[in-house]
Chains A and B, each alone.
Chain A
Amino acid sequence: MLTEKQLDTGEMTLNYVEGANEGEPIVFIHGIGGRWQTWSQEIGLVSHAWHPYSVDLRGHGKSSSAETGYRFGDYPRDIISLLENRVEGPAVLVAHSLGAVTSVGVASARPDLVRAVVLEDPPIFSHQRSGRSRRADEFARIQELARLDVPHSEMVSLVTKLYPSQTAAEVRSRAIAIRGLDPEVYTQTLTALRWKASTQTQVSPRSSVPRCSCRPTLRWAQP
């Protein structure tokens, strides 16, 4: 049984879910364009032995937008606030992509709050990569969709065109996520992708990684 809750961080309102306390805390964090439900199946699998949480990052899902921005260095503050105010004891962070970079920022800034991290394909160092126009095009299209004020059924139709190979369930989930997005979430990332230089400098994954003193696991994909 998950309970949806909100935390006023002083900067924005963070939406998250909390499960029953059956063990040590574990916090799931989605990637860009996602929402807490991204991890719903994994939450169910750990619920018997852990105390699970899953968050909507700022500008995503039911969390509020944040006037202070969407740089990599902005997201960790929200998670630190959650860990300080709502989570008992150091937590394991399980995170994908943007969430993984955020976790690196959290673990670097507040290692006392983090027991271990699972980093699923974190875009560490990827700002130095060339030939990234395909991802930039995808993000730009998502940003355009997020700016539309259309009914769910129309959004499903538009998302189907963007992701023709995805299942109906995946498309529906993406459509819901996009309708909940602050389009500005993508602005900083698109700037970085298009100009091949990171403008997200408040917490540089490159410089933060060596300061991670908690125990991490890192996994990456090779399509």
Chain B
Amino acid sequence: MTDEEAERAAAAIPDCTFVRMKGVGHGIHRGDPVNFRRVMFDFLDTV
């Protein structure tokens, strides 16, 4: 996603948590697995 697309999605999705991951491509969970999992587990702890 581009920043613009992400901002539009952020505006469109209700009750949404946004995380921007820098320095990684489209395949985030393979490109930066440590940070992806940290964010995923932080979120799963809240649902």
Residue ranges of A at the interface with B (Cβ–Cβ < 8 Å): 26, 31, 39, 41-42, 45-46, 50, 92, 94, 96-97, 115-116, 118, 120-126, 129, 170, 206, 209-210, 212-213, 215-223
Contact = CB atoms under 8 A, between A and B. Distances in A.
B6 to A, nearest CB: 5
Contacts of A123: 1
22 contacts: A41-B33, A46-B44, A96-B29, A97-B26, A115-B47, A118-B43, A120-B29, A122-B1, A123-B1, A124-B1, A124-B5, A126-B1, A129-B5, A206-B12, A209-B9, A218-B13, A218-B17, A219-B39, A220-B6, A221-B24, A221-B25, A222-B3
Contacts of A216: 13, 15-17
Contact of B14 (A45, A126, A210): A210
Given A125-B5, A218-B6, 11 more contacts: A46-B44, A50-B44, A120-B28, A126-B1, A129-B5, A209-B9, A209-B12, A215-B16, A216-B13, A221-B1, A222-B23
B47 A116 contact: yes
A16 B8 CA distance: 33
B interface, size bucket: 35 or more
A122 B16 contact: no
Given A120-B29, A221-B1, A210 B12 contact: yes
| A interface SS class | mixed
B23 A218 contact: no
Contact of A218 (B16, B25, B37, B41): B16
Interface of B: 1-6, 8-10, 12-31, 33, 36-37, 39-41, 43-44, 47
B14 A223 contact: no
A130 to B, nearest CB: 11
Nearest to B9: A124
Contacts of B41: 45
A45 B37 CA distance: 9
A118 B40 contact: yes
B37 A42 contact: yes
Contacts of B36: 120, 219
A97 B25 CA distance: 12
B16 A217 contact: yes
Contacts of A125: 1, 4-5, 8-9
Contact of A219 (B3, B5, B20): B20
B19 A219 contact: yes
Contacts of B27: 31, 96, 121
